Amino acid sequence: MPTIDQPKKNHLLAALPEAEWSRWLPQLEPVSLPLGKVLYESGGVQSHVYFPTTAIVSLLYVMENGASAEIAVVGNEGVLGISLFMGGESTTSRAVVQSAGRAYRLSAAAMKDEFNRAPVLHLLLRYTQALITQMAQTAVCNRHHTLDQQLCRWLLLSLDRLQGNELIMTQELIANMLGVRREGVTEGALKLQKAGLIQYARGRIEVLDRAGIEQRSCECYAVVKNEYDRLLPDRTAH
């Protein structure tokens, strides 16, 4: 059985009422999520839902020719595998670990059973609405905003889901997530570094000036963050 405090690093688990929490705790299984691990593929049947605590997972849409683009990120604010409790069983996206860390998982059968209970139903539906907002805003951002702005949005969303100010991942992974060439990522990151906003080295991004990145980002980050803040309870309240 996991220790009580660790799973509650995930905001959804921390927001569970006491009765639900007591039922869930023995069923939660701790897992390690290394960088690049695929949690599920497009069209695959999902056996578990994942509640990240320190890891970040990218939801990618993969085209027939292999090209991909990120449609959302999920970290300690959320859960992976919404199709299990929404009734679809599978999804058209791929889930890939963007930043290595830990998570807790719950079996599909347990999740479906819990979803029929009112407190869990309402919490997960609000989370799903927030996730849909992120997906919609990502689509708009990728179409109408510059790569610099997209990179800033992505950095901010990732930072919100991490403890600290450093991201460790490959150029190729960032390029796949943003749906651009690796050269574009390098150029965008070097611009931010020249402006004194980040320190960039191979596979490592350290944020030096978060306020500056927020100023340089488009409105998409604020729209997504405000919706998560509006729909989901503050974990410190539990």
According to the model, what pLDDT value does residue 148 have? 81
Mean pLDDT along residues 10-28 = 92
**Residue whose pair of structure tokens reads 């950095």 in the numeric block:** 155
Confidence class for position 2, pLDDT limits 50, 70, 90:
low
CA distance 157 to 155: 6
CA distance 76 to 158: 10
Mean pLDDT along residues 178-191 = 77
Mean pLDDT along residues 155-174 = 81
Over residues 62-89, the pLDDT tens digits come to 877 877 778 888 999 999 988 877 776 6
Is 50 exceeded by the pLDDT of residue 237? no
Q: What backbone torsions phi and psi does residue 16 show, to the nearest 5 degrees? A: -65, 140
> Can you list the domains of the chain with their CATH numbers?
7-116 (2.60.120.10), 142-225 (1.10.10.10)
According to the model, what pLDDT value does residue 235 have? 44
Is 80 exceeded by the pLDDT of residue 39? yes
According to the model, what pLDDT value does residue 9 have? 92
According to the model, what pLDDT value does residue 75 have? 93
Over residues 47-61, the pLDDT tens digits come to 899 999 999 998 888
How many residues can be counted in the chain?
238
Over residues 104-141, the pLDDT tens digits come to 999 988 988 888 888 888 899 999 999 888 888 888 77
CA distance 205 to 215: 18
| DSSP-assigned letter for residue 137 | H
Sheet holding 29-33, edge to edge: 29-33, 101-107, 48-52
According to the model, what pLDDT value does residue 53 have? 95
* Tokens read off for 128: 């799903």
According to the model, what pLDDT value does residue 65 have? 81
CA distance 56 to 74: 6
According to the model, what pLDDT value does residue 102 have? 95
